């Protein structure tokens, strides 16, 4: 049984748990963290491509 579950909430549906989804279950912290980071990075890169004039902030991934 996996020890870590990545669940995703978004700010467009604040406090609406019916909009939450599971992005995967992982055996290690590092696998779960990598998935969470990829979700954030994908969103930021997509947003940057759609809005090239936006000022991008580099996400900080070292949460330990």
pLDDT digits (tens, 9 = 90+) for 27-54: 999 999 999 999 999 988 888 788 777 6
For the chain, the helix, strand and coil percentages under 3-state DSSP, each to the nearest 5: 45, 15, 40
Query: Does any domain span residue 61?
Result: no
What's the predicted TM-score (pTM) here? Answer: 0.70
Query: Does any domain span residue 56?
Result: no
Query: Does any domain span residue 62?
Result: no
Query: Does any domain span residue 8?
Result: yes
Number of domains in the chain: 1
Residue 48: predicted pLDDT: 78
The CA-based angle 13-15-50, given to 5 degrees, is 25
- The tokens for 61 are 């991934």
Distance CA 43, CA 37 (A): 10
Query: Does any domain span residue 55?
Result: no
Query: Does any domain span residue 30?
Result: yes
Structural domain containing residue 39: 4-50
């Amino acid at each position: 049984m996996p020890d870590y579950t990545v669940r995703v909430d978004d700010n467009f549906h604040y406090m609406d748990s019916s909009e939450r989804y599971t992005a995967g279950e992982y055996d290690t912290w590092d696998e779960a963290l990598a998935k969470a980071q990829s979700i954030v990075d994908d969103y930021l890169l997509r947003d940057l491509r759609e809005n090239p004039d936006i000022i991008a902030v580099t996400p900080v991934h070292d949460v330990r």
